[in-house]
Amino acid sequence: MNVIIFGPPGAGKGTQAEFIVKKFNLFKLSTGDLLRNEIKKKTLLGVQITTIVNSGSLVSDEIINSLIENIISNKDYKNRMIFDGYPRNLSQAINLNKILLKHEQKPDLVIRLKVSLDVIKKRVTGRTVCSKCGKTYNEFFNPPKEDSICCKKEFLTKRDDDNIDVATKRFETYEKSTEPVLNFYNKMNLVKDVNGEADIDVIYREISSFLNIIEGWLYIITPYNYFFKTYTQ
């Protein structure tokens, strides 16, 4: 099955995606990871991406789509992907459907983690990282233990962009850009809303229940639905 997970920055998409990958043996497809991998390998495309990023510009949809198709066309990942952070806009969603259809696949489920701006602000501004061991905490929801030997207050650091203004802007950008994308997938009856403010384990169990149903459904019917074509033409 192919799963898409949505949620504003700070909603916990990455955490849930990692859980899902392990339980359902999926491949996590993150555009950020793909871009960083090209840069790390110093390919021709990686050099081009580095130049774009260093100039402060956004990497084009054309480059992103090319990287995405390289993964989708790989038979090792066929019908076992979770998309984290992609698609970000309607154009990318339409293109993703076309690429999936080209390789005889489709999206099976879209998970939307619903989190309020107030909670996002606390998650972002409260985030701290131990400079010694790298473990992440949150002063509001998950502070380090008082008797911690390593993660003492003097070793906790914050990222420069973990502030209210940045968190608010990212949230508003997410809401604006993903609304038409979610409407697109709602027309295909693929979207399932999950309370992203619940405990991590509760969120994981709810998502798993959806995936178990999809997995069983795909087992008894052909995985290639004719109706899917109508959304890609």
208 located within any domain: yes
Is this structure's pTM higher than 0.95?
no
Q: Is the pLDDT of residue 218 over 70?
A: no
C-alpha 122/C-alpha 163 separation (Å) is 9
Classify residue 147: in a domain, yes or no: no
**Residue 84 reports pLDDT greater than 60:** yes
52 CB-contact burial (10 Å; exposed 0-12 / middle 13-18 / buried 19+): middle
3 state SS of 131: coil
Question: What whole-number distance in Å separates Cα of residue 138 and Cα of residue 174?
Answer: 22
The mean pLDDT of 69-74, rounded to a whole number, is: 94
Instruction: Label residue 28 by pLDDT band (50, 70, 90).
Output: very high
Q: Supply the pLDDT for residue 53.
A: 80
59 part of a folded domain: yes
In a domain, 168, yes or no: no
C-alpha 199/C-alpha 196 separation (Å) is 8
Encode pLDDT of 134-193 as tens digits.
888 888 888 888 878 788 888 899 887 788 998 898 899 899 989 999 999 999 999 999
**159 within domain boundaries:** no
Name the nearest CA neighbour of 7 among 86, 98, 109. 86
192 φ/ψ angles, rounded to the nearest 5 degrees: -125, 125
What total of structural domains would you count in the chain? 1
Cβ pair 43, 230 in contact under 8 A: no
Which residues neighbour 141 within 8 Å (Cβ) at sequence distance 6 or greater? 122, 123, 126
Q: Would you tell me how many other CB atoms lie within 10 Å of the CB of residue 184? A: 19
Residue 107 lies in a domain: yes
The residue that leads in pLDDT, 24 or 223, is 24
Peptide bond into 8 cis (omega under 30): no
Q: Is the pLDDT higher at 193 or at 219?
A: 193
Length of the chain: 233
Residue 202: its pLDDT value, please?
A: 95
| pLDDT for position 160 | 79
The answer to whether residue 30 is domain-embedded is yes
Write the DSSP assignment of 9-32 as a string of letters: TTS-HHHHHHHHHHHHTPEEEEHH
Whichever domain contains 24, its CATH number is: 3.40.50.300
Structural domain of 48:
2-115+178-231
115-140, pLDDT tens digit by residue?
Answer: 999 999 998 889 898 998 888 888 88
151: in domain: no
Residues 6+ away with beta carbon under 8 Å from 212: none
Catalytic positions, please?
Answer: 13, 88, 127, 159, 170
Q: How confident is the model at residue 233 (pLDDT cuts 50, 70, 90)?
A: very low
Q: Is the pLDDT reported for residue 221 higher than 60?
A: no
